[in-house]
């Protein structure tokens, strides 16, 4: 089967798909990936296991796509990565031509699952016409970027519910945003939570002590955030909140996991706020679970989210979490989550964080499993779907 994404970097949708991929019997079901890159000028390419060089594209032109976070693991699991040109609106016809060329050349897929809904209205109908038996549009977010990019996304998503055999969404909010309230009310969209490998993140006091020792921590109060550096995650506001916390607790530190285009600006903003020595930019990490163990509090003041897997991971680690009230309530699997408006002052957030700072960490694994966030269980439903059964049992909590 084929997953269509913008890329395979360390993002929320990508991480959830990889969690699912690891659970599959790959002799029975294999995942391949169709991603997008500005390095590809025309046609399509297949990534090789050579560190990222792609060779020639579908028109014989030389171009190179830089390796991404999950490239190596996908290839080690037997998956293939194919690359299309990045869609930029003005290349609409060239993009359609590249998509058509791909599906004419690759008729082996029984299911095409499109997580990149901004152009799913283009590539899913083409896949269907090329003979793909099952097409899926999967809503992964409940908002769009600012400006013309967001407007273009809204335009090309129009009528998407009619252009796929199945419509999935990670939450009610994501489904409404991508497919519309009418489609949700009519039962045309199935909500499937973003499930995680619960056991990987479960709170463990021994692991916490070891992780904090490795990070040179003793009694510091560590706040944490995991997310790419872009508009959606609202890092400027996050830094204001931490500054307000630091005014009350001089032992406070902030760990920021992730990367992205806005990172340099946020590093500069830390210097301007006088918190540069207290904020640690950790980059993308393969061992994020150890950082959750080392943290004392988790923050997610996003402008919008679909259903943030990082919030589920934080709860699995037994962390208290303060999140914006724009984040879907479906992500609250435990009593560890507090919602607050980003219209409130950073000082108000800081006040509430410090009020909740003293608590006992606990093992929340069973709570998360019962709430439907365990990928091992969810994988069984997906397996049945990929092999030809209906989608009704995905995410029903039954093996």
Instruction: Give residue 54's pLDDT band: very low, low, confident or very high (50, 70, 90).
Output: very low
**How does residue 62 score in pLDDT terms, banded at 50, 70 and 90?**
very low
Percent of the chain beyond pLDDT 70?
A: 95
Confidence of residue 47 (pLDDT cuts 50, 70, 90): confident
More reliable by pLDDT, 55 or 297: 297
CA distances from 37 to 6, 99, 155, 365 (A): 8, 13, 21, 38
Alpha carbon 379 to chain centroid, angstroms: 17
pLDDT at 55 over 50: no
Q: What is the pLDDT of residues 89-111, one digit of tens each?
A: 999 999 999 999 999 999 999 99
pTM, full prediction: 0.88
Strands (E), the chain: 2-4, 32-37, 45-46, 81-85, 111-114, 134-139, 166-169, 190-191, 221-226, 252-257, 279-283, 297-300, 320-324, 337-340
- pLDDT at position 394 is 83
Residues 302-355 pLDDT 10s: 999 989 999 999 999 999 999 999 999 999 999 999 999 999 999 999 999 999
pLDDT of residue 392: 80
Q: Where does the pLDDT of residue 181 fall: very low under 50, low under 70, confident under 90, or very high at 90 and above?
A: very high
Phi and psi angles of residue 119, each rounded to the nearest 5 degrees, phi first: -125, 10
pLDDT of the residue at 362: 96
Are the folds of 2-195+374-386 and 198-369 the same? yes
Q: Is the predicted pLDDT of residue 139 greater than 90, yes or no?
A: yes
The answer to whether the Cα torsion of 67, 68, 71, 73 is positive or negative is: positive
Q: What local confidence, expressed as pLDDT, does residue 142 receive?
A: 87
In the predicted model, is pLDDT for residue 399 greater than 60? no
The CATH classification of domain 2-195+374-386, taken from the options 3.20.80.10, 1.10.4000.10, 3.40.50.2000, 2.120.10.30: 3.40.50.2000
CATH number of 198-369: 3.40.50.2000
Identify whether the C-beta of residue 311 lies closer than 8 Å to the C-beta of residue 321.
yes
Question: Is it the case that residue 398 has pLDDT exceeding 70?
Answer: no
Domains of the chain by residue range: 2-195+374-386, 198-369
Q: What is the mean pLDDT of residues 341-370?
A: 97
């Amino acid at each position: 089967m084929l997953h269509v994404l913008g890329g395979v970097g360390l993002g929320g949708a990508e991480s959830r798909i990889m969690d699912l991929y690891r659970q599959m019997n790959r002799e029975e079901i294999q995942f391949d990936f169709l991603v997008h890159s500005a390095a590809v000028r025309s046609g399509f390419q297949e990534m090789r296991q050579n560190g990222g060089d792609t060779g020639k594209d579908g028109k014989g032109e030389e171009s190179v796509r830089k390796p991404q976070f999950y490239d190596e693991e996908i290839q080690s699991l037997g998956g293939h990565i194919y690359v299309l040109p990045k869609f930029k609106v003005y290349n609409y016809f060239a993009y359609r031509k590249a998509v058509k060329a791909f599906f004419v050349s690759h008729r082996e897929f029984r299911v095409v699952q499109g997580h990149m809904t901004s152009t799913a209205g283009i590539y899913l109908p083409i896949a269907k016409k090329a003979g793909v038996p099952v097409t899926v549009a999967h809503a992964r977010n409940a908002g769009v970027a600012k400006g013309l990019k967001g407007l273009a996304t809204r335009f090309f998503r129009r009528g998407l519910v009619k252009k796929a055999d199945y419509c999935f969404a990670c939450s009610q909010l994501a489904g409404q945003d991508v497919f519309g309230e009418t489609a949700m009310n009519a039962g045309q969209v199935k909500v499937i939570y973003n499930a995680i490998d619960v056991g990987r993140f479960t709170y463990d006091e021994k692991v916490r002590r070891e992780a904090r020792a490795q990070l040179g921590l003793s009694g510091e109060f560590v706040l944490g955030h995991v997310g790419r550096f872009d508009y959606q995650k609202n890092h400027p506001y996050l830094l204001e909140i931490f500054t307000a916390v630091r005014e009350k607790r001089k032992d406070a530190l902030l760990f920021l996991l992730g990367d992205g285009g806005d990172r340099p600006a946020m590093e500069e903003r830390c210097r301007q706020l006088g918190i540069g020595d207290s904020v640690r930019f950790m980059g993308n990490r393969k061992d994020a679970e150890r950082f959750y163990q080392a943290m004392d509090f988790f923050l997610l003041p996003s402008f919008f989210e679909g259903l943030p897997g990082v919030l589920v991971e934080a709860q699995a680690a037994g962390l208290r979490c303060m999140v914006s009230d724009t984040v879907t309530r479906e992500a609250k699997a435990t009593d560890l989550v507090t919602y607050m408006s980003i219209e409130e002052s950073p000082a108000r957030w800081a006040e509430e964080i410090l009020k909740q700072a003293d608590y006992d960490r606990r093992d929340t694994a069973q709570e998360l499993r019962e709430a439907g966030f365990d990928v091992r269980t969810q994988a069984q439903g997906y397996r049945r779907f990929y092999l030809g059964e209906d989608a009704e049992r995905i995410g029903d909590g039954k093996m």
